Structure 1
Amino acid sequence: MNKITEFNNIARPSQPALPAFIAGRVNRYYRERVQDTWGGGHIMRGRTPGSDALHLSSNDYLSIAQHPAILGAMQDSIRAEGNGLLMSSVFLHGECPHIQLEDRIAHFMHAESGILCQSGYVANTGLLQCIASADTPVYADMMAHMSLWDGIRSAGAPAIRFSHNDAQHLERQIVRHGPGIVVVDSVYSTNGSVSPLTEIATICAAHDCVLVVDESHSLGTHGPNGAGLVVELGLLDRVHFRTASLAKAFAGRAGFVTCNSEFRDYFKCESSPSIFSSTLLPHEIRAILATVSVIEREGWRRTRLHANAAYLRKSLTDLGFNLNASQTQIIALEAGTEQRTIILRDALESRGIFGSVFCAPATAKNRALVRLSVNASLNHSHLEKIVKVCSDIRQEVELDKWHSTRRAARQDIHLNPVEQYTRDELAA
């Protein structure tokens, strides 16, 4: 017996029965997904990692979650300020730490101004709520972050998808439906592919469209001092808004939107997700402030991250894995069906490799995968272990039967990766 056991033995009050229209949905989930597809298990819940496991599921790409300068800033803030004043950021003004951090991150991203949000989800949904309407078509890459799609829905705007990374398809859609807002990710979180930002920015300028770029998976990891791909590509004068989750390379809990000074106050008074959520806690603000300096100062982390990712991409491609044009620290092993993905997950985890399972609605149906998130702390022996494990399991997971493997073979004969990906996505 222990405290947890005692707690679990406490009699729980009963909840009222759910009406049929909700109970039916819950029962369908357990019947169709848990029982029929996952065999009574759960696709997200495999083995418990051992002490020697390699964790490739974290978005802490630069390996700074335990950085002493960041932890020290948090500790000092907690001792001095506690949890601070709990309120919406709409009430904040003057020389307060929240606004000072906004100015610091804006400077880091080479932006005129910016808005600190509670999460990347709030940044995306809040921004689109403020700039889109029922009269504004919003053009979204079919693999754009779900928070962007939810932002379109919350704005009541017509959502018009275009094929992944297909700038020509985007332009045809704009010609057909008229000027509006274009939303893309700089680096796509599912497969690590990179958006053709320069081409898309040129199209947006030619057709008088607003361009929104989600830099969640490139801020901190790409660009000068980690300022992101938009800065690296010299597109500051053609990208109207950049958003980012600071729960990736920044290893924190917040979101950010770049904008001009006039828009900052407008957003804070018009964005419902921002207005009706409490601001960040003081220790979170101090930690992010310290994180910006760490990311700027320790460029070796980006260098090692990119070297590790390049090594794994080449090695796994040589082993026959189709990485779907990944060019970044995100590497996807696309098994296809959820049943095959469970087999892949178990094969990796039984050998001490723990990635992240992605399946519908995070992916298209039958394009489920295990995502390996590379980080800067991986050494050569870690990388060799990952490659050896992936080599050893090829027959066990029936790599030759994966749809992604067969696509790769067809790409060699007929289509380039983007054309093939687009055709298969539309078919799905």
Structure 2
Amino acid sequence: MLSKSKILMRCIGKCSKTAKREYMYPSNTSADVEQIWDADYMDNINMFDSTPDLENGQGKSAQTFTLDFTSSDPLDVAKSVANAENRSVMTSIGSGNTSLKYRLNYGPDSASSLQCEVEEKSSIWLQSECTVMTPVGKDPLTTLVDKFQQAKSLPVYIDALARLNNDIAGHTQNNLINFNHNEIESLFLRIKEHGPGLVVIQSVYGKTGTIAPLEKMCQLTRELDCTLIVDETNALAVYGEEGAGKVAELDLHDFIPYRIARLPALGSNLGLITCFKSNVDTLREPLNVGIDELDRLLLAIEHVKENAWARDLLRSKSKYLKDKIIDMGYPGIHLHHPSHIFGLCIGDTSRVNEISNFLKSCGVNTEKHTHPSVPEYRDLLQWKLNVTKSTTQLNNTVDILREMLDKRVARPWNWPDAFKRPRLFT
């Protein structure tokens, strides 16, 4: 058995080698980047070693590796930030400095607070007047809606596919009103019937990857005296010049002051709310946000801002996979949106379960969404692409989907989104 000192020295040696390979995103050309990711991640991944046995409903590669399409960290930020932290720690130990500095969070009301520093940098990044961090376990959308409801009971209009948790459903009670997914006319009619209130949408929808018509939504809510709340959870890190989301990308930050986001795309368990300065004291939680989470978030924000090439690579890989799937004959209602997420709307729960289980047996992991999280008979499989997926992995996924068609395991010509002008989510 190795002694502790030898184990430590091995760790330091590995750390120095890792630093030379630059796990933090390098500034390379697109072609070089593709080679780096394909080579770097293949070191630790057992790829499909054979064609799945579709006759027996069992993928031969299932025991070696699961190709996961459920990641909420599309740019692999968490790994890069963790590697940066590890290098910092190991460098300190290697240089004989075992006294590691640890910052204190004096609370959100202190000028020297780490939380205030993160909130200030987030505001600059998101081009918002102010930003408030929400602690682990506290949903930012619930926090914001609750504060509005405490002041005055208002109707809450929410897109049929927007993320809805039990807290909001319980607190708003009879005031919660759904409108058809991404339909301006449907929202207009609901507001005319029930009066002004809060309108909750997602800039990029996590179940289907569809993108909200933000400009039209913004114009309508202003004309009808409503407050628009945009959930940017699936847009941060991926969209905009510095990964600041769709609102910033479309230069709508002055017209949409209220944005919320959970931050898995930044490798964090925290959440954030953008707001007016006058709202800060009302929205802040009495408990401090965790120091370790704040430290990592500072690293993650700078990391995301500086690596536009990773966003470009994610877009190119997403388009590559979607184009291949469309060419095979799968319905393209959701595949045509330029996002890293898409949904295959299968319709029937039993068929969704059957296809999901089959894909897992072939080493492909997706996420199921069934009624009531989606409208009845509109059950779907959600796919989230991560930048670390190699071309080989994507091609293997395409091969499995093609075999599903050939063997008629999947019959997409009967799915709800296969028909002309389908009314998918109402």
Structure 1 partner of 2:53:
none
Structure 2 partner of 1:58:
71
Of 233, 250, 267, the residue aligned with 2:283 is: 267
Q: Distance in 2 between matches of 1:395 and 1:67?
A: 40
Mapping 1:34-113, distance limit 5 Å: 50-68=63-81, 71-72=84-85, 80=100, 92-113=109-130
* Cα distance per residue 1:34-81 (max 9 Å; x no partner): xxxxxxxxxxxx999644332211111002221156641797599847
Structure 1 partner of 2:326:
317
Structure 2 partner of 1:252:
268
* Cα distance per residue 1:59-114 (max 9 Å; x no partner): 110022211566417975998477967x9x6x653211111111111111111111
What SS does structure 2 have at the residue aligned with 1:136?
coil
Of 401, 421, 425, the residue aligned with 2:424 is: 421
The answer to whether structure 1 residue 330 and structure 2 residue 335 are counterparts is no
What SS does structure 2 have at the residue aligned with 1:222?
coil
Over aligned residues, Cα RMSD in angstroms? 2.9
Shift in alpha-carbon separation, 1:212–1:300, aligned structure 2, 3 A = same
Structure 2 partner of 1:15:
none
Shift in alpha-carbon separation, 1:199–1:381, aligned structure 2, 3 A = same
Task: Give the AA of the match of 1:311.
Answer: Y
Task: Give the AA of the match of 1:163.
Answer: N
Mapping 1:125-144, distance limit 5 Å: 125-132=142-149, 135-144=153-162
Q: Distance in 1 between matches of 2:124 and 2:363?
A: 41
Structure 1 partner of 2:28:
none
Contact 1:132 1:138 in 2 (8 A): no
Of 341, 366, 374, the residue aligned with 1:363 is: 374
Shift in alpha-carbon separation, 1:349–1:47, aligned structure 2, 3 A = farther
Contact 2:104 2:113 in 1 (8 A): no
Mapping 1:274-313, distance limit 5 Å: 274-275=285-286, 278-313=287-322
Task: Give the AA of the match of 1:238.
Answer: F
Q: Distance in 2 between matches of 1:79 and 1:141?
A: 51
Shift in alpha-carbon separation, 1:352–1:235, aligned structure 2, 3 A = same
> How many angstroms does 1:237 deviate by?
2.0
Of 190, 202, 211, the residue aligned with 1:194 is: 211
What SS does structure 1 have at the residue aligned with 2:178?
strand
> How many angstroms does 1:201 deviate by?
0.5
Contact 1:120 1:244 in 2 (8 A): no
Q: Distance in 1 between matches of 2:164 and 2:326?
A: 28
The TM-score normalised by the length of structure 1 is 0.76
Q: Distance in 1 between matches of 2:71 and 2:248?
A: 25
Task: Give the AA of the match of 2:249.
Answer: E
Contact 2:110 2:116 in 1 (8 A): yes
Aligned length: 358
Contact 1:120 1:245 in 2 (8 A): no
Could you list the runs of 5+ residues in structure 2 that have no partner in the other structure? 1-58, 93-97
Post-superposition, which runs of at least 4 consecutive aligned residues in structure 1 deviate over 3 A? 46-52, 68-71, 73-85, 395-398
Could you list the runs of 5+ residues in structure 1 that have no partner in the other structure? 1-45, 269-273
Contact 1:61 1:374 in 2 (8 A): yes
Q: Distance in 2 between matches of 1:356 and 1:344?
A: 11
Contact 1:347 1:397 in 2 (8 A): no
Q: Distance in 2 between matches of 1:297 and 1:265?
A: 31
Of 375, 379, 386, the residue aligned with 2:397 is: 386
Q: Distance in 1 between matches of 2:331 and 2:137?
A: 29
Q: Distance in 2 between matches of 1:359 and 1:75?
A: 44
Q: Distance in 1 between matches of 2:209 and 2:302?
A: 26
Shift in alpha-carbon separation, 1:92–1:81, aligned structure 2, 3 A = farther
Q: Distance in 2 between matches of 1:346 and 1:284?
A: 35
Structure 2 partner of 1:13:
none
Structure 2 partner of 1:8:
none
Q: Distance in 2 between matches of 1:280 and 1:407?
A: 43
> How many angstroms does 1:368 deviate by?
2.5
Q: Distance in 2 between matches of 1:79 and 1:212?
A: 45
Q: Distance in 1 between matches of 2:276 and 2:393?
A: 44
> How many angstroms does 1:172 deviate by?
1.4
The answer to whether structure 1 residue 211 and structure 2 residue 224 are counterparts is no
Contact 2:103 2:291 in 1 (8 A): yes
What SS does structure 1 have at the residue aligned with 2:147?
helix
Shift in alpha-carbon separation, 1:154–1:351, aligned structure 2, 3 A = same
